[in-house]
Amino acid sequence: MSVDLPHAHGEAVLQARLRAAPEDFVVDELPGFEPTGQGEHLLLTVRKRGMNTAHAARCIAQWAGVGDVAIGYAGLKDRHAVTTQRFTVHLPKRNAPAVETLTIDDALGERLEVLDHTWHAKKLPRGALAGNRFVLVLRDVEGDRAAIDARLSAIAARGVPNYFGEQRFGRGGNNVGSALAMFAGRRVRRDQRSVLLSAARSELFNRVLAARIRSACWDTALEGEVWMLDGTRSVFGPQPLDEALAERLATFDIHPTGPLWGEGALRTQEAAAALELDALADADAVALRAGLERAGLRQERRALRLRPEALQWRWPDETSLELSFALPPGTYATSVLAELGDVAAAGRD
């Protein structure tokens, strides 16, 4: 993973700890659809503590007496947290055990309880959520409160760079190096291959975004810009910034974009394309680009900026800061925290 990614809002205004306890990192999945109420898939809304998504899925499969492949979920949630999310269990004969028996509360702090259940027509696929709602508590906060409040106001008004978070890059950022080795001929498992392709793409995007931050144009237009509609993956352009587009940009209806690398022509033109190619011109970036193209991934785009929805904060005591906000799928709470300063997170999966 790229190190020393630049920040958009200036120098750090705080130091703090996150995840001092799982209750300091609360994530609620925002549903992306209404259940059908009928079908062969039992749709469970589950709250869990001290348990990541994969482990919870295995527990649910064991409870239902089915294989892991019968379990569906929309997104991955960390272990060192309190999280709410949906799972589906494929039960063609609708012979589910009593839902009341699906509960875990052990001495190690792992907990799981079912909040709601119904039937649904399809297995829950990855990405089938509207986003995530976060309530985070920072402990042992050091910094000037007025400066911190001002920084949070700036984030609420302007948003933050939409970096891919460190979760994409594995422990120590090793996935990018492993991707380079894979592209050079090292054989990897099929499931690992998709992880490494994702890390390579994310690395290249982060490099372009970093270059635009250094050039003070991460949330403004360049000549040859390609735009993304807020809340969608729909893109249009290149299209020059006119009065109408400037208004849409100011109101967060559209965003400038960066590349998710793959085969095919780079969609940006002129200054935007020149900046992207310059940011991805060193030997490692060229190797990552070539490997992604050989893998058959197609050129796509991702918004360069992210605005936390309904960002609020309060000070429960002199050294604790509670933040609440919602983010769309595929974005990272760490992108918000990074613009505040040095937040040391314990227990990250």
pLDDT-above-90 percentage for the chain? 85
Q: Of 96, 95, 69, 71, whose CA–CA distance to 85 is shortest? A: 71
Backbone angles phi, psi at 269, to 5 degrees: -135, 175
Lowest mean pLDDT among 62-71, 86-95, 215-224, 329-338: 86-95
- Mean per-residue pLDDT, 193-218: 96
Is residue 180 very low, low, confident or very high in pLDDT (cuts 50, 70, 90)? very high
**Would you say the pTM of this structure is higher than 0.75?**
yes
Give the per-residue pLDDT at 67.
93
Domains, the chain: 14-22+131-156+309-345 (3.30.70), 33-127 (3.30.2350.20), 165-306 (3.30.2340.10)
**SS3 state of residue 208:** helix
Both structure tokens of 2: 């790229």
- Mean per-residue pLDDT, 156-165: 96
Spatial contact of 200 and 176, defined as CB atoms under 8 Å apart: yes
Burial class of residue 173, CB neighbours in 10 A (0-12, 13-18, 19+): middle
Give the chain's largest Cα–Cα span. Answer: 62
**SS3 state of residue 268:** coil
* Residues 44-65: tens digit of each pLDDT: 999 999 999 999 999 999 999 9
Residues whose CB is less than 8 angstroms from the CB of residue 186 and which lie 6 or more positions away in sequence, other chains included: 178
Spatial contact of 120 and 36, defined as CB atoms under 8 Å apart: yes
Which amino acids are annotated catalytic?
78
Average pLDDT, the chain: 93
**SS3 state of residue 107:** coil
pLDDT over 80 at 245, yes or no = yes
